Amino acid sequence: MNRIFADLPNTIFDVMSQAARDLNAINLGQGFPEDPGPLDVREKAADAVLNGYNQYPSMMGIPELRQAVAKHYAHWHGLQLDAMSEVMITSGATEALTGAILGLVEPGDEVLLFQPMYDSYVPIIRLAGGIPKFIRLEPPHWLLPEEAVRKAITPKTKYVILNNPLNPAAVVYPRQNLEMLARICQEFDLTAICDEVWEHVVFDGREHVPLITLPGMRERTVKIGSAGKIFGLTGWKIGFVCAAPKILRVLTKAHQFITFTTAPNLQVAVAYGLGKADDYFTTMRSDLARSRDRLSDGLSKIGFPVLKSQGTYFVNVDLAPLGLNETDEAFCRRLVHDFKVAAIPVSAFYEEDHVTSVVRFCFSKKDATLDSALERLSKALHA
Ligand code: PMP
Ligand code: GLN
């Protein structure tokens, strides 16, 4: 058995969703909306499955979707991509990340990672024979620390993985901080693998800046997106990978033996959705921001120290000032068992030197769900 996988626990998302089901708890753990998603996009998928899109589509993704991705990023970010040589469709961002890591990382290569980090990166880096090097980010600002990045770099460092907007921290990195990373990538000849699945879920007029659009990064960045987050259809698992032809060519070779291709009817619907008018995306943001405010304000009123959410479906609270004498993990366990609310302990996103006082709540839920959760959370804090 391969120890890399045999020794892993089940992902915290699955553990918490299962606990929520078993205990009949309100699930503010795993990030998914309670809303069923845009009807017109779902109708396109249904129509496509009834009218022909059911056999293997092209390995790279259907041309309509690759063109729609290129057009979407040109419109939103001024990023010019050649749809045929620089865009590939995958089965979710998870597959895109796996393919990018397996396709690029060679045994002995060091890969810089910012903790807290999404849980799929490290096992795949290890599978590729790469060596993860961890840089610790901290609340309340979670900014990328230049000195620590420079200190972590050795002659073996080849890649950096950046998740922006950052799940679970709910920060949208400011341009200046990204420019620092871009300069370092060029100084040390690093390639960036950018997990930008949350690119559209940004609030308060914030702008998502794709690292690939910064000067000098166009040829050394892999940009990964996901329709799951753009349309609030997390089960669809339609991902996009964008990179210069010399990089994408290699990632294609990995993709062809991971999943080879991706459900064609869903690709048709996503191609349609990416062309929706700007107000769909801005309304989605303001609706989510309203839910964020409802949960954040409620948590503050109860007495939780709230870390303001700039993007994603998540808001965090820092338990440290409360003096509960309890780790995030213990708190989440008590919360789901005794008060029937599932949340995610942020320490699960660290591999070493854990931050153990931050708890993540998902707010992409109906008002009534958030209100019931708040009632229970109030009891938990004042028990
Ligand atoms: N990266 C991050 C940071 C995520 O939050 C998620 C999903 N929530 C993924 C990757 C995986 O995306 P997908 O569901 O498209 O595989
Ligand atoms: N990205 C989702 C979250 O952070 C979970 C995805 C998963 O369950 N693997 O909650």
How much distance in Å is there from the Cα of 100 to the middle of ligand 1? 14
CA of 29, nearest ligand number: 2
Angle of helix 245-258 relative to helix 92-104, nearest 10 degrees? 110
Atom 9, ligand 2: residue with shortest CA distance = 13
Q: How many angstroms separate the CA atoms of 262 and 230, rounded?
A: 17
pTM of the model: 0.97
pLDDT the model gives residue 383: 76
How much distance in Å is there from the Cα of 15 to the middle of ligand 2? 11
Q: In what order do the strands lie in the sheet with 239-242?
A: 87-90, 239-242, 221-226, 191-195, 157-163, 110-115, 131-136
CATH pick for 41-276 out of 3.40.50.720, 3.90.1150.10, 3.40.640.10, 3.40.50.300: 3.40.640.10
Task: Give the residue ranges of the chain where pLDDT is below 50.
Answer: none
Angle of helix 278-302 relative to helix 367-381, nearest 10 degrees? 20
How much distance in Å is there from the Cα of 216 to the middle of ligand 2? 32
What's the topology of domain 3-30+279-382?
Answer: Aspartate Aminotransferase, domain 1 (3.90.1150)
Residues of the chain with CATH 3.90.1150.10: 3-30+279-382
Burial of 315 (0-12, 13-18, 19+ CB in 10 A): buried
Is 29 close to ligand 1, i.e. is its CB under 6 Å away? no
Residues of the chain with CATH 3.40.640.10: 41-276
pLDDT the model gives residue 342: 98
> 150 to each of 135, 146, 155, 176, 356, how far by Cα in Å?
10, 6, 12, 16, 25
